[in-house]
Structure 1
C-alpha cells in the first residue's frame, strides 16, 4: 500500500498563508466561507492560518457580513499596518505622487510643478511626505517613473549624461525605504499588459507620444528593457529623408510642421490635435505626417521583433491621431500588415503602471515577512 505524500507543516502553512493573503489583496475583505471558495482550503485550514496571521499583524477584523449567520460571518482584511507604497510619475512639467495600500487602492495623491534637477530627490520626498500626512502607516516601497533611459541598476541617462544612480540613492536615504526607478513608457506598457488592451496579446509594442516618441515592448508577458535599458528609444530610428540621428517626433518636429503648415509653432501638439478634430485642414496635414512617421517606426519594429499589435498611448491615443495612423497603415498594408490598438488608459497609462508595480512590490515585501519560514508574527 502506497503511503500518502507528506511535506513539512511549515511549508504547507506558508503556502496556505500566501494563498489567503493574495485572496484578500485581490478581493478585499472576505469571510471565512469566501476565503474557502477563493483558495480551495478547508474551513479548518482557513481558521488556523487566519489565527496565525492575525496574531502576526497581517490581517484584521473588517466587520460582519449581515447576510451570513454565526462566527463565519466576520470579515477579515489585510491589516492597515502593512503600510503603503508610493507611485511617482515625473514628467517634463510636473511630479505626481500616489499612495497605495497592498490591495492597490489609492489612499492619497499630490502633484507639484517640476523644480530643478538637483532638487529632484528632495522634491519627490517632500511630495510623498505630504501624502503621508493623510494616512497612518509606514512607507514600504517607492516606484518612480521617469522619461529617458533607465538602466537595470537604476542609473538615469539624460542630456547631462548618466547620474550614476545618484537620484535613487539620495531618494532612498530620504524616504527610508527601497526605491525602484523605471522608464515611464515601460510602465505604461506594463499597465496595458496587466490590466489593459495587452492582456490577451502574446506580444505588443506600446508607442507613446508625449514630448517625444517612446516605445515599450512586452514579449511573452515579460517587459523587454534591453541589456542597458535602451530598448524602446525609437525616436531616433533612421527614417529617410531625415538625417541620421534626427528625432522622428518631438516638440521641435511639431513646431517645424506647424510653421510649415501655417499654424502657431508655439502651440503644443494637443492644440493641433484638437484643431484637427474640429476639421482644420492644416492641423490635419500635420497629424497625417506625424502618423506616417509613427507607422514607419512601427514597420521597422515589426521587421525586427514582429509584435502581435501596437498600442497607441499618450497623444497618440487622441481620436484624430488614431484615425490618421489607421489611414497611414492602410497605405502600406500591401507591404506589412500592422495592427494598431488604442490604450485603455490614455495619458494615465504610466501612472497606472507605476501604481500596479508599487502595489505588487508592497504586497511581496509585506507578505514575505509573514510567509517566510520563521516569519510568522514578525511585523
Structure 2
C-alpha cells in the first residue's frame, strides 16, 4: 500500500497560515466558514491556525456576522497592530507618500515639493511623520520609488556612480524600520502585472515617458531588473542617425523638437500633447516624431526578448501619443508586428506599484511572525 505524502507539521501549518493571511488581506474580515471556502482548508485546520495567529497578534476578532442565515459567526481580520508601511514616490519635482495597511488600503496621503537632493531622506521622513499624525500604529516598512538606476542591493546610481547606499542608510536612520528602494518604472510594471494592463499577459514591457523614456519588463510573471539594475534604460539604445549615448526621448529632445516646429521650447511635453489633441499641426508633428522613436525602441526590444505586448504609461498613455504610436507601428508592420496597450493606471502606475509592494512587505512580516512562533499552540 502506498503511503500518503507527508511533511513536517510546522511547514504545513506555515503554508496554511500564509493561505489564511492572504485571504484576509484579499477579502477583508471573514468567518471561519468563509476562510474554509477561500482556502480549501478543513474547519479543524482553520481553527488550529487561527488560534496560533491570534497568539502571535497576526489576526484579531472583527465582530460578529449577523447578515447570513443560521447562528451568528465571529469574523476575524488582520490584526491592527501589524501597523503600516509607507509607499513613497520621488519624482523630479515632488515627493508623494501613502501610508497603507496590510490589505493595501491607503490610510493617509501627503505630498511636498522636492527639496535639495542632499536633504531628500530628511524630507521623506518628515512627510511620513506628517502622514502618521492621522493614523495609529507602528511604521513597519518603507518602499521608495525613484527614477534612475537602482542596483539589486539598493544603491542609487547617478552620473558619478553608486551612492554606496548612503540615501537608504540615512532614511533608515530617520524612520527606524527597513527601507526598500526600487526603480519607479519597475514598480509601474509590477502594478500593471498584478492588477492592470499586464495581468492577462504572459510577458510585456512597460514603456513610460516622464522626464525621459524608461522600460520595465515582466517575463513569465517575473520582473527582470538585470544583474546591475540597468535593465530598462532604453532611452540610450542606439538609434541612427543619433550619436551613440544620446537619449532617444527626454526633456532636451522635447525642447529641440519644439524649436524645430516653431513651438515654445519652454513648454512641457504635456502642453504639446494637449495641443496635439486639439488639432495643432506643429504639435502633432512633434508627437509623431517622438512616437516613431518609441516604436523603434520597441522594435529593438522585440528582436531581443519578444514580449507579448508593450504597455504605454506616463505621458506615453496620452490619447494623442497612443494614436501616434499606432500610426508609427502600422508603418513598420510589414517588417515587425508590435502590439501596444495603454496603462490601466496612467501617471499613478508607479505609486500603485509602490503601494502593492508596501502592503506585501507588511503581510510578509506577519508570515515571518507566525514562523517565528514555531507552530506554538498547534494540536
- Alignment match, 1:175: 175
Q: How does 1:141-180 map to 2 (within 5 A)?
A: 141-180=141-180
Q: 1:21 to 1:361 in 2, by over 3 A?
A: same
Q: What is the distance in 1 between the residues matched to 2:66 and 2:114?
A: 49
Q: What is the distance in 1 between the residues matched to 2:24 and 2:72?
A: 16
- Alignment match, 2:232: 232
Q: Would you say 1:280 and 2:280 are equivalent positions?
A: yes
- Alignment match, 1:94: 94
After TM superposition, the structure 1 stretch with the greater mean CA deviation from structure 2, 152-161 or 109-118, is 152-161
Q: What whole-Å deviation, never above 9, does each CA across 1:61-112 have from its counterpart, x for those lacking one?
A: 1122222356652111001001111110000000001111111111111000
Offset of residue 366 of structure 1: 2.0
Q: What is the distance in 1 between the residues matched to 2:2 and 2:240?
A: 72
Q: What whole-Å deviation, never above 9, does each CA across 1:171-207 have from its counterpart, x for those lacking one?
A: 1121111111111011111111111111111111110
CA RMSD of aligned residues (A): 1.6
CA contact (8 A) 1:189 1:206 kept: yes
Q: What is the distance in 2 between the residues matched to 1:361 and 1:91?
A: 22
Q: How does 1:7-86 map to 2 (within 5 A)?
A: 7-68=7-68, 73-86=73-86
CA contact (8 A) 2:96 2:110 kept: yes
* TM-score, structure 2 as length reference: 0.96
SS in 2 for 1:207: strand
- Alignment match, 1:249: 249
Q: 1:212 to 1:375 in 2, by over 3 A?
A: farther
Q: What is the distance in 1 between the residues matched to 2:376 and 2:327?
A: 59
Q: 1:234 to 1:3 in 2, by over 3 A?
A: closer
SS in 2 for 1:204: strand
CA contact (8 A) 2:13 2:375 kept: no
CA contact (8 A) 2:89 2:146 kept: yes
Q: What is the distance in 1 between the residues matched to 2:45 and 2:240?
A: 66
Offset of residue 7 of structure 1: 4.2
- Alignment match, 1:192: 192
CA contact (8 A) 1:188 1:353 kept: yes
CA contact (8 A) 1:369 1:376 kept: no
CA contact (8 A) 1:53 1:376 kept: no
* TM-score, structure 1 as length reference: 0.96
Q: What whole-Å deviation, never above 9, does each CA across 1:241-283 have from its counterpart, x for those lacking one?
A: 1111111111111111111111111000000000100101111
Q: Would you say 1:105 and 2:73 are equivalent positions?
A: no
Task: Give unmatched runs, 5+ long, in structure 2.
Answer: none
SS in 2 for 1:303: helix
CA contact (8 A) 2:10 2:375 kept: no
Offset of residue 6 of structure 1: 4.7
Task: Give unmatched runs, 5+ long, in structure 1.
Answer: none
- Alignment match, 2:119: 119
Q: 1:171 to 1:326 in 2, by over 3 A?
A: same
After TM superposition, the structure 1 stretch with the greater mean CA deviation from structure 2, 43-52 or 55-64, is 43-52
Q: What is the distance in 2 between the residues matched to 1:40 and 1:71?
A: 22
CA contact (8 A) 1:91 1:146 kept: yes
After TM superposition, the structure 1 stretch with the greater mean CA deviation from structure 2, 7-16 or 161-170, is 7-16
Q: What is the distance in 1 between the residues matched to 2:253 and 2:45?
A: 63
SS in 2 for 1:307: coil
Q: What whole-Å deviation, never above 9, does each CA across 1:13-52 have from its counterpart, x for those lacking one?
A: 3222222111111110001110111111222222232222
SS in 1 for 2:30: coil
CA contact (8 A) 1:32 1:72 kept: no
Q: What is the distance in 2 between the residues matched to 1:46 and 1:208?
A: 44
SS in 2 for 1:297: helix
SS in 1 for 2:264: coil
SS in 2 for 1:205: strand
